[in-house]
Chain A
Amino acid sequence: MLKKPLKTAFMQGFIRCHDCGSLLKSDPKCLCPVCGHHVSARKPNSVQYTLALIISALCLYIPANIFPIMSVTQLGVAETHTIVGGIVALIQSDMVPIALLVLIASILVPLMKLLGLSLLLLCVHYRWQVNARLFTRLYRVIAFVGRWSMLDIFMISILVALVDLRGVAQVIAGPAATAFAGVVVLTMLAAKSFDPRLIWDHQLSYE
């Protein structure tokens, strides 16, 4: 038997303003009296926006991992690194903790975001009956960790500025840096455009 559903604001004819959190009487196409923004019960076209951003991010994820992210010249010998190559180089020079950090920030986090958001979209689209609390937590983790992927980009910008001794020692950013920055921005936007309330809307039983 189903548990008695709890009341959501939407069921009771209220809309929560996305920006200021005021609770308003449901009446679409209206402006919030406090902050002046358009109110809507759910983020408009949330699934479509999120899906489009995930697909774009996925397209950039491939060049981001194939092309070199930076090339390091030491004593006249140039060496190009991909993201994975940079991690391998760190392990070879016995810097395992830092290698682990970069592995998490530049490979695992973007991958987890892409897979996690796809899972959330599937859950919403097919109206899966899931542990919604757990899925909401997954969403929160995705939204929180997103920015930490910028680690590699910041590190490269620092190295490029400091190691600039033409011919002897030089670090040059590679094309993968642009692609990777695109992945980070697009996945952050994707997480932002997803509306976690959609997970709850299709649940028949309420905890």
Chain B
Amino acid sequence: MSLALSLAPLAYVACPECDLLLNPVVPEPGDKAYCPRCGYLLQRPRKRSIERTLALSLTGLILIVPANLLPMVGIKIFGNSQDGNLWTGVSALFKEDMWAVAVLVLLSSVLLPLVNLGLAFLIGFHLFMHKANNQLARWMHWYEHLNEWAMLEVYALGIIVACVKLAGMAELRFGLGLFAFIGLLIVNAMLSNELDCYFFWQRIAQLTKK
């Protein structure tokens, strides 16, 4: 394997979806830069992206505890009541030997959201403190790749559909866990909106070069 390549002069960037060579523009925070050829969203700078990432990921890491531990939705049929949270669905599927589905649900609703928040926090913390770490690029890589597999908002829609289905046959009640879950959902959406990947990669490149 040959040694690391030299970086091309920073005068150019390439569009990831059509490979067009472009002069990098630096839009104002809040503005967006699109690829002129394919319309890919190249950059969307945010004000204080690092600080907000740090704050939001920390909030998310706190909220994820009650969202996982407290009951979210409960039902009452014929006098028997049953509470459910993120974990009961997984364990019920395991009990029915649907382990593949159970693992998928576990990953996409519990583990990967947690891992992603943790990664965002770690990256934000290192960039905030200007601390170099040779794992930074790996964390960022995993953050970007796993983001798609953390599906809290799809789960929320699943809760709504399940509740509509159950409303006819049982009495529903909503627990504190559901409110923590909704909070987590909002924080997560804000986090992926505030985390400016382009800017983060630039900072990571600067830190690794030193």
Residues of chain A touching chain B, judged by Cβ–Cβ distance below 8 Å, are 6-10, 12, 14, 16, 18-25, 27, 29-37, 39, 41, 74, 90, 93, 95, 98, 101-102, 105, 132-133, 136-137, 139-140, 146-148, 150-165, 168-169, 172-173, 177-178, 181-182, 185, 188, 192, 196-197, 199-201, 206-207
Contact = CB atoms under 8 A, between A and B. Distances in A.
Interface centre among B13, B18, B21, B105 (most CB of A within 10 A): B18
A185 B82 CA distance: 31
Nearest to A206: B37
A190 to B, nearest CB: 13
Interface of B: 1-2, 4-8, 12-14, 16-21, 37-40, 73-75, 77-78, 80, 82, 84, 88-93, 96, 98, 100-102, 104-105, 108-109, 137-138, 140-141, 144, 148-149, 151, 154-155, 157-159, 161-162, 164-166, 168-170, 198, 201, 204-205, 208
24 contacts: A8-B14, A8-B18, A8-B19, A16-B16, A18-B16, A19-B144, A21-B13, A24-B5, A27-B2, A32-B5, A34-B7, A139-B17, A152-B158, A155-B158, A156-B101, A157-B101, A162-B84, A162-B88, A164-B92, A165-B77, A173-B101, A181-B100, A181-B101, A197-B19
A31 B98 contact: no
A177 B37 CA distance: 41
Interface centre among A34, A41, A164, A168 (most CB of B within 10 A): A34
Nearest to B40: A136
A20 B18 contact: no
A178 B137 contact: no
A163 B170 contact: yes
Given A33-B7, A162-B162, A181-B100, A137 B92 contact: no
Contacts of B198: 21
Given A23-B12, A25-B5, A154 B154 contact: yes
Contacts of A21: 13, 16, 198, 201
